[in-house]
Homo-oligomer: A and B are copies of this chain.
């Protein structure tokens, strides 16, 4: 079933409920399941659980991802024999936009038969979409499909689904968590999952390079404006010295806002082309998206970003100027010096 390439904006996306999504999966076979680029625990957990579940029903499945799958997910990814065959049905999991397929985007644009997602921002690029934007992780959607289809859960599939739940919620502590997230986790425990080992692998293990990088980033810490602003820097030199890539910078923005009293956490990360990505994390009354908008960026109330072309010193100067202005507007009469 080869389809011609369609222009995304021309396609009509049919919204499916859980019943329709399961019927679609039952009627089809020979699945190619796609993960997003720079794969995380949620897209991988979704893909491998679904592949294992459908395989158990006698259907053929294979999985593709533009980027290499980190070894820390071996405990469920290696449990699935990912053979190549002529697939007939293409399913995308946890992918809000076709461009997030990375290196696979061009090949599959207009060819996705079904997207299973939890991002409210989903761009409706697929022919069909099963969307649960209340789900903390896409693996909640996958769990619901397992229960409704029903597909058989075992230790490996439960571990994969648990991985998505836990990684997309910072181990059950982000604002996206609901009672349902915990209820699903409780149920998954009955399949003998080693949740503590998963937690250790996902949250309490880092490469030596990442540890060294973290040390360098902490060494760069500057405090400004009566300690209401913390600024961290990660340069290409630091990444090169420690053998780290941009993926290893995950979590640095969180550190920038982790110190008591800090209302604006800034992290300036040098990109391969020498330009800078500035991430801003704020607490009220400051507004990250307002701050970033001043430099041509955007985002949410508490988390936003912008790009900067120029020297590191200028990047610091520009973003600090905006933060200072925002502090002065919110704390009239207080003087904020470096």
- How would residues 186 to 198 of chain A score, 1 for a CB under 8 Å from any chain B CB and 0 otherwise? 1101100001101
Neighbour of A211 across the interface among B172, B187, B200, B259, CB < 8 A: B259
Task: Establish whether residues B189 and A260, one from each chain, have CB atoms under 8 Å apart when the complex forms.
Answer: no
Residue A171 CB within 8 A of the other chain: yes
Known: A211-B259, A218-B215. A173 touches B196 (CB 8 A): yes
Residue A109 CB within 8 A of the other chain: no
Known: A179-B186, A182-B182, A205-B260. A171 touches B171 (CB 8 A): yes
Counted per complex, copies of this chain come to 2
Selected interface stretch from A111-119, A219-227, A318-326: A219-227
Residue A175 CB within 8 A of the other chain: yes
Neighbour of A186 across the interface among B182, B190, B204, CB < 8 A: B182
**A173 CA to B172 CA in the complex, in Å?**
9
Residues in chain B near residue A189, CB distance under 8 A:
177-179, 182
How far is the CB of A262 from the nearest CB of chain B, in Å?
Answer: 8
Residue A300 CB within 8 A of the other chain: no
Known: A185-B182, A223-B208. A203 touches B173 (CB 8 A): yes
Task: Establish whether residues B174 and A180, one from each chain, have CB atoms under 8 Å apart when the complex forms.
Answer: no
- Within A24-83, which residues are at the interface with B (CB < 8 Å)? none
How far is the CB of A198 from the nearest CB of chain B, in Å?
Answer: 8
Size of interface on A: residues with Cβ below 8 Å to B: 43
Task: Establish whether residues A199 and B186, one from each chain, have CB atoms under 8 Å apart when the complex forms.
Answer: no
Residues in chain B near residue A254, CB distance under 8 A:
204
- Chain B residue nearest to A166 in the complex (CB): B173
How far is the CB of A232 from the nearest CB of chain B, in Å?
Answer: 11
Most interface-central of A186, A207, A258 (chain B CB within 10 A)? A186
- Within A146-177, which residues are at the interface with B (CB < 8 Å)? 166, 170-175, 177
- How would residues 206 to 245 of chain A score, 1 for a CB under 8 Å from any chain B CB and 0 otherwise? 1110010011001101010001000000000000000000
**A205 CA to B260 CA in the complex, in Å?**
6
How far is the CB of A185 from the nearest CB of chain B, in Å?
Answer: 4
